[in-house]
Amino acid sequence: MAPYLIVSDIHANMEALRAVLDDSRGRYEKILCLGDLVGYGADPNPAVEWARANLTAIVRGNHDKACCGNEPLEDYHPAARMSATWTREELTSENLEYLDKLARGPLRYDDFDLSHGSPADEDEYVLTVSDASPLREAVCAQTTFFGHTHLQGGFVLTRSGARRIPPEGIFELEPDHYYLVNPGAVGQPRDGDPRAAYAIYSPQQRTIEYRRVDYDIDQAASKIRAAGLPASLAARLYAGT
Ligand code: ZN
């Protein structure tokens, strides 16, 4: 089976996406995405067009739904709501239609699952060990890739509970455990490290490699400001929050 480039939460940040593609070049055969192509960033059309041309599989994220009008915006904080409204107006009808038709997770691909949020509910965050522990009963595949939290890492699920996977270097998957694996966010990391995050999954070697890469934050941030999007969305890229 092919090695996979696993990306999530690109959020219309083409500078971060290009850095990930440069850094991972030659190391994978197929690209899988865990949702949130758009929202927050200033390049929604290029992000969706890249997805249409390059992805082997993708599940929808809450921001993808929000931009198509498939999700109420009342619970979004004001900057996220503004960016969803801006994105909806900016997207071409073909790109809106593509987002509108994205599959709900969890989506089976080969012998693993893709999910935006929790495998039990696509919109739920899996942030803590206590969020992850009950999911041992909910997961269908031995390995489920998820995003939504923008935090690289994930969890090993055992009968006695969950423990965190440290998002560092190469992690080996053991045959008798279940895994929730988060590649981190390409376009808006929130773990205090502003570098773009992604993962390479090698089913043959049973390894996940967690990677971080610097990108041109100045350019992504200035596009956000030039588009008239909230300045906080530019500032948080520098802080990785
Ligand atoms: Zn997101």
CA 102 to ligand 1 center in whole angstroms: 15
Fold of 4-239: Purple Acid Phosphatase; chain A, domain 2 (3.60.21)
Average pLDDT, rounded, for the chain: 96
* pLDDT value of position 71: 84
Nearest alpha carbon to residue 144 among 110, 173, 109, 179: 179
Geometric angle at alpha carbon 183, from 132 and 203, rounded to 5°:
95
- Tens-digit pLDDT profile for residues 205-223: 999 999 999 999 999 999 9
CA 62 to ligand 1 center in whole angstroms: 7
Kindly list the protein residues that place their beta carbon closer than 5 angstroms to ligand 1, a single-atom ion. Answer: 9, 36
The structure's pTM equals 0.97
Are the C-beta atoms of 50 and 187 separated by less than 8 Å?
A: no
Q: Tokens in use for 41?
A: 């960033």
Are the C-beta atoms of 210 and 62 separated by less than 8 Å?
A: no
Mapping DSSP to helix (H, G, I), strand (E, B) and coil, where does residue 180 land? strand
Mapping DSSP to helix (H, G, I), strand (E, B) and coil, where does residue 112 land? strand
Domain ranges for the chain, please list them: 4-239
Strands 112-114 and 143-145: parallel
- Tens-digit pLDDT profile for residues 91-110: 999 999 999 999 999 999 99
- Tens-digit pLDDT profile for residues 10-36: 999 999 999 999 999 999 999 999 999
Element containing residue 84 per DSSP (H, E): helix 78-90
Q: How far is CA 151 from CA 165, 188, 224, in A?
A: 11, 10, 22
